[in-house]
Structure 1
Amino acid sequence: MADSWTFAVARDDLGRSTLVDGATPEVVDGEALLRVDRVGLTANNVTYAVLGDAMRYWEFFPPAARGLGPQWGLPPLWGFAEVVASTVAGVEVGQRVYGYLPPAGHLVVRPDRVDASGFRDASPHRAELPSPYNAYRSTTGDPAYQADHEDLLILFRPLFFTSFMLADQVVDNGFYGAEALLMSSASSKTAYAAAFELRGRGPRLVGLTSPGNLAFTRSLGCYDEVVPYDDISALDTIPTVYLDLSGTPSTRAALRQHLGDRLVRDIAVGLTNQTPNADAAEEVFFAPVQMRKRGQDWGREGLDQRFTEAWQRFTAVVSGWLDVQVGVGPEALQQAWADVLAGRTPPRVGHVVQL
């Protein structure tokens, strides 16, 4: 490839993608340049693309800045980048940061609120976008960072943050008075990380999954029971909260028919099968909302401390549940996108790409 590059997908057909060459951007006063180094690709990134318009995810990394037309979108990725040029005090060349990155060789940022923990990107086009996505954590000032666990951070940190805040909201609301918590897409990383957090703290945890993922999901030990989707009629008719991570209309309909008024809460938590589910659910979980609440309740340091403690509990076990597949280069990123989009990635596999 050239000295810089960009991967983009067609906004109206996520299976169509392109790789384009470009020049390395120059920085002006107040800016820093990040070289994208190592990123992950999971169903979460597909979710960002599916909800790109509704949740404004396409706006983080505008295609026009990279010579691409508006029919293209840059699906955001999580991972590590290195500062390769900087005009901002406290943001030093060679600094390694974790955060929200484009599927591209470089990213120009306008660092603001710089401190030992990192900085925020104050680029004007990101000012009105959800603030948690604008933070870049320096590896030297991040209590959750461990050099030998970089790939776990890449693959799980954003998902685990969602899982952590989801579990916290459920606990914060007294489990909504339920006797059972039911989670679809139970084999997904976001679901089983939330189940890991909730296990043993209250209601019975029941995972719903496809027949092919039953054995894997049961092997995790996160759920009290794992049930295939076609066996919903066997569920106990007790007060139940449904945490929907799949967005499958037929699953919701079967649950409502079977549980009736025993379905005390129906909460959409993103999606994994590309069927937007927000309209059909009674409510939608959005992690930054609960994060803001807990930021007020606990303060930023208190929230960071609780997250780090939960993360360390999780990383102590999750490496045994995961096979990391590492690809190299932009073409490997393009292939990983195609595999995840098509559902060809087994639940045990996590895609990491070294760029």
Structure 2
Amino acid sequence: MPRSWTVAVARDDLAQMTYAEGDVPAVTDGEVLLRVDRVGLTANNVTYAVLGDAMRYWEFFPSGSPERGLAPLWGFADVVASTVPEVAVGLRVYGYLPPASHLVVRPERVDESGFRDGSAHRAELPSPYNVYRATTGDPAYRKDQEDLLILFRPLFYTSFMLADQVADNDFYGTRTLIISSASSKTAYAAAAELRDQGVRLIGLTSHGNVEFTRSLGCYDEVRTYDEIDSLDLVPSVYLDLSGSPQVRAALRERLGDYLVRDIAVGLTGQVPNAGAAGEVFFAPVQMRKRRHDWGRDGLEERFTAAWQRFATVVDGWLDVQVGHGPDELQRVWLEVLGGRVPPRVGHVVQL
């Protein structure tokens, strides 16, 4: 008899995992059963777990235990059972998924582009995370780019909206942007989008990632963290993707009043950085603004155009490694959690 499974982590120790099996969920009226097929694991997923309580990420996929959580992943799933006539068995969707074999959703606002999960426990959570995009109605989808979409689409939406917000505010009156964790996917995707917009992009990274980061060609300058004290004293905006208190302190000491904006974007380490920053970037806020400015179709058109530009270059920057099954999911989670994944490697797990 078919079985389902989940891989949960201890909320107070993300390296402790629990594998559990159970019966495949049955669907009732208004529900659809997704079989999770292919997911990615990046530092972004660790961020969801680190900020699981503060940003309510644990609430998307309840584990049934206050001690354990299901860290959200992005990827593709297939409809294997449906009581909703508009959502056919066999439909393939992209979206927010648990580290599990199956997920029950309650589709609402169904159209050719997909649907939203209207499950009660997700009603008050940020709506962009509740969207499931049908591959048949997604202008950004190409079958041969599934792994790139898995690894980059959620990051790229963050990068795209971050670049848009900074440009929308005329770079806060500056012409220098400093980006930490410059070798991370979110950082260099934002840099690629900001390239050629009349600003100087300075990437900060570790010694071991300097060569890779320079090879991308999307930064005007790449420096190591211990070279912060030689930065030019010009009005600058700091986009913090590292979450490092030491980096923030060094920048503030060096730039003083020249540091015009200090914006926490995410974290590639595991130190929440929102409290120390001047402000926090949250992609859904800028998305809502642009839906109002451009309309839903206008936003999608701009995102698709940006993604297609990025996808043409990023394929040469990444070595996609594909694993199989829940054991590999657990192994890769520990590797990503421990910061042991080289910047050129992207992990996808076929479940």
Question: Taking structure 1 as the reference length, what is the TM-score of the superposition?
Answer: 0.98
Paired residue for 2:150? 154
2:167 alignment partner, SS class: helix
For structure 1, the residue ranges without an aligned partner over 5 or more in a row are none
Paired residue for 2:7? 7
1:29 alignment partner, SS class: coil
1:63 alignment partner, SS class: coil
Paired residue for 1:277? 273
- Letter of the structure 2 residue corresponding to residue 129 of structure 1: L
Is 2:204 the counterpart of 1:220?
no
Is 2:116 the counterpart of 1:117?
no
Query: What is the aligned counterpart of 1:311 among 292, 307, 310?
Result: 307
- Give the stretch that moved more between structures: 46-55 or 18-27: 18-27
Is 2:126 the counterpart of 1:130?
yes
Paired residue for 2:201? 205
Paired residue for 1:60? 60
Superposed displacement of residue 270, structure 1: 0.9
Q: Does the 8 Å CA contact 1:2/1:21 hold for their aligned counterparts?
A: no
Is 2:76 the counterpart of 1:80?
yes
Looking at structure 2, the residues matched to 166 and 97 of structure 1 have their Cα atoms a distance apart, in angstroms, of 25
Looking at structure 1, the residues matched to 122 and 20 of structure 2 have their Cα atoms a distance apart, in angstroms, of 24
- Letter of the structure 1 residue corresponding to residue 297 of structure 2: E
- Letter of the structure 1 residue corresponding to residue 46 of structure 2: V
Looking at structure 1, the residues matched to 178 and 246 of structure 2 have their Cα atoms a distance apart, in angstroms, of 15
Paired residue for 1:191? 187
Is 2:234 the counterpart of 1:238?
yes
Deviation string for 1:268-316 (max 9, x for gaps)? Answer: 0011101000000000000000000000000000000000000000000
Deviation string for 1:181-230 (max 9, x for gaps)? Answer: 00000000000000000011021000000000000000000000000000
Q: Does the 8 Å CA contact 1:175/1:202 hold for their aligned counterparts?
A: no
Superposed displacement of residue 340, structure 1: 0.1
Q: Does the 8 Å CA contact 1:34/1:107 hold for their aligned counterparts?
A: yes
Paired residue for 1:330? 326
Looking at structure 1, the residues matched to 173 and 141 of structure 2 have their Cα atoms a distance apart, in angstroms, of 36
2:93 alignment partner, SS class: strand
Looking at structure 1, the residues matched to 173 and 102 of structure 2 have their Cα atoms a distance apart, in angstroms, of 48
Paired residue for 2:287? 291
After TM superposition, what 4+ stretches of structure 1 lie above 3 angstroms from structure 2?
none
Q: Does the 8 Å CA contact 1:33/1:86 hold for their aligned counterparts?
A: yes
- Letter of the structure 2 residue corresponding to residue 149 of structure 1: Q
Deviation string for 1:235-270 (max 9, x for gaps)? Answer: 111000000000100100010010010000000001
Looking at structure 2, the residues matched to 121 and 334 of structure 1 have their Cα atoms a distance apart, in angstroms, of 26
Equivalence map 1:240-255=2 (5 Å)? 240-255=236-251
Query: What is the aligned counterpart of 1:344 among 312, 317, 340?
Result: 340
Looking at structure 2, the residues matched to 320 and 22 of structure 1 have their Cα atoms a distance apart, in angstroms, of 41
- Give the stretch that moved more between structures: 16-25 or 148-157: 16-25
Looking at structure 1, the residues matched to 2 and 191 of structure 2 have their Cα atoms a distance apart, in angstroms, of 44
Q: Does the 8 Å CA contact 1:323/1:349 hold for their aligned counterparts?
A: yes
After superposition, the CA RMSD in angstroms is 0.8
Paired residue for 2:137? 141
Deviation string for 1:161-198 (max 9, x for gaps)? Answer: 00000000000000001121000000000000000000
Question: Taking structure 2 as the reference length, what is the TM-score of the superposition?
Answer: 0.99
- Letter of the structure 2 residue corresponding to residue 241 of structure 1: V
1:201 alignment partner, SS class: coil
Looking at structure 1, the residues matched to 251 and 225 of structure 2 have their Cα atoms a distance apart, in angstroms, of 10
Superposed displacement of residue 2, structure 1: 6.3
Superposed displacement of residue 234, structure 1: 1.2
Looking at structure 2, the residues matched to 226 and 38 of structure 1 have their Cα atoms a distance apart, in angstroms, of 34
Paired residue for 2:48? 48
- Letter of the structure 1 residue corresponding to residue 126 of structure 2: P
